Amino acid sequence: MNSPDLSSAVSPDSSRMFARMADPLRYAQALLERYALFAGMTSRDRLLGGLVEAVAVLSESQLSQLYLLDETHTRLTLCAEYCDGTLQPVSSASVPSDYTDAHLLQYCLCQDQTLSLASLESSLFATDFLPATSNPWRSLLCLPLKNDQGHVIGLLLWANQRALDMQHYSDSLGHLGNFVVAQLQLLQNLRARPIDEPQTSLATKAMPRGYGLIGDSPPMRAVYQLIGKVLHTPVSVLLTGETGTGKELVARAIHDCGSRRSQNFVVQNCASIPDNLLESELFGYRKGAFSGADSDRPGLFDAADGGTLFLDEIGDMPLSLQAKLLRVLQEGEVRPLGSMQTHKVNVRIIAATHCDLRAQAERGLFREDLFYRLASFPIELPPLRDRGDDILHLARHFAANACAFLDRPACRWTDPALEQLAGYGFPGNVRELKGLVERAVLLCEGNELLAEHFNLEASPTSNVRLSLRERMERVERNLLVDCLRKNLGNQTSAANELGLPRRTLLYRMQRLNISPAELKLAREKLHAQSAT
């Protein structure tokens, strides 16, 4: 079933506050009293309950509701409800933010529009989100609430069992709702920050983490913050970064966590198909458009209509196709090959490249107008070597997945193996790490991952952050490990060969984190040889 046309239900922005109120001065005084009351509250529940009560009382409505999005903007929760003069208990359950079964809430949330229905017909609009009563709901107003950065973070709704035009309350009660939201964020920030902790912005404190991605390093947290800004807006996104940094995963996260999550996510690598076929693949064709076109075929833009089209390696798209892509971005129109007619599509474009598109545009290899259109919201993904402890988190994740796929027990990690990964530069980024870990899982015996299973060659970036002392310790560590393995783990023999007292050898092993697990493989080989 198609979404109803709500354009006629959205009232104009020019309606003036208080213009249609019988006693505007009394209303203004009651409104100011609410501001003063909320400014002194320090309880989240009292703020939420007080807001829905104030909205119902001030607008003379039988019902008011407050919905808030979670930090990832993927779940919408009814946080407070006031009905028939009583604050109602609410469930902690939430629903997906696309709200496909409630077009009214979906429209207000995703389009950032105030919605006013003076004559609510249940036969036209699904109203299951309203409480069941003996008398039907006849009018409704719903408006988006925003944080200090202008991003929609929830909905404020009030309804009546009489057919009323309540648009004249929207401005004043919307400001009141935004004030309460700001108070909630302030309270959350103050309670989460210790007294001696340096002050950080509310945006940083409320920063969503994850979106299905792995990593909590500062560069990745910056990426999460940018993802959160485009989840519910149709703006085009350009993902940049080195090869193997996970651009397709980020594109899918934006789709799966955004308002288009219930629609198709279509992927096309612009470098994986010949130029003469890419146009027909993207835009489709009509019967007879070229030799072999025996029937009409829709393109990927039609397949992604209502959803997201991810164009990977956009820098390899030929200039002739770039002009047609620009028209899709500007006009939302697609013309298939062999057709004189265009048709509308509603597709969000997410593009990705490892090239410097600005430099290509300056050299005439990429359309400058298309570059500026795509680069309106760029997200640069950090290389793996700049992500710190994320390397080890990703390695453990890939190892666990590989073991599950092979139906074998989880592997144990030795400290030298982790140290070797942490010190490597990873020119192939996450893709290279995934391949190395999966190979090591296949090579390891006894479900123990050793440094020798990775056998990483030194890369130009692997020692960039190591001091002279750290490099010397690495050389010493490798020397001790080789000597111990040569002597099959016998510490006395190794100490004699190195010309050291055994106590000194034990001290150096402890200081350099040389664990007995590293020497286990050599002893197992000796036992195997003895058995044969």
Environment class of 296 (CB within 10 Å of its CB; exposed 0-12, middle 13-18, buried 19+)? middle
pLDDT beyond 50 at 197: no
Cα(37)–Cα(52) distance, integer angstroms: 14
φ, ψ at 246 (rounded to 5°): 95, 35
Residue 306 to residues 88, 266, 281, 302, 341, Cα–Cα distance (Å): 37, 11, 18, 9, 20
pLDDT for 184 equals 87
The CATH code of domain 218-380 reads: 3.40.50.300
Which helix H or strand E contains 330, and what residues bound it? helix 319-331
Token match 């909590």: residue? Answer: 216
Round the average pLDDT of the chain to a whole number and report it.
Answer: 81
What tens digit of pLDDT does each residue of 27-44 get? 888 889 999 999 888 888
Question: Which of the 8 DSSP states describes residue 413?
Answer: E
pLDDT for 370 equals 92
Q: 1-5, 105-109, 227-231 — which one is most confidently predicted on average?
A: 227-231
Mean pLDDT throughout 394-406? 91
Confidence of residue 520 (pLDDT cuts 50, 70, 90): low
What tens digit of pLDDT does each residue of 80-129 get? 999 988 998 877 555 555 555 567 787 787 777 888 888 887 667 777 78
Which helix H or strand E contains 378, and what residues bound it? strand 378-380
pLDDT beyond 80 at 149: no
pTM (predicted TM-score): 0.56
Tokens of 287: 């019967």
pLDDT for 527 equals 53
Place domain 7-190 in its CATH homologous superfamily.
GAF domain (3.30.450.40)
pLDDT for 462 equals 46
pLDDT for 16 equals 53
Environment class of 287 (CB within 10 Å of its CB; exposed 0-12, middle 13-18, buried 19+)? exposed
Close Cβ partners of 122 (under 8 Å, ≥ 6 residues apart) = 136, 137
Tokens of 273: 């198909």
Residue 419 to residues 212, 373, 394, 424, 514, Cα–Cα distance (Å): 26, 43, 14, 9, 11
The CATH architecture that domain 386-531 belongs to is: Orthogonal Bundle (1.10)
Q: b/e map of 240-275 (b: 16 or more CB within 10 Å)?
A: bbbebbbbebbbbbbbebbbbbebbbbebebeeeee
Alpha carbon 348 to chain centroid distance? 16
Q: Where are the domains of the chain?
A: 7-190, 218-380, 386-531
Confidence of residue 464 (pLDDT cuts 50, 70, 90): very low
Tokens of 513: 């984190």
Q: For 414-493, where are the E strands, in sequence order?
A: 448-449
Percentage of the chain modeled with pLDDT above 90 = 27
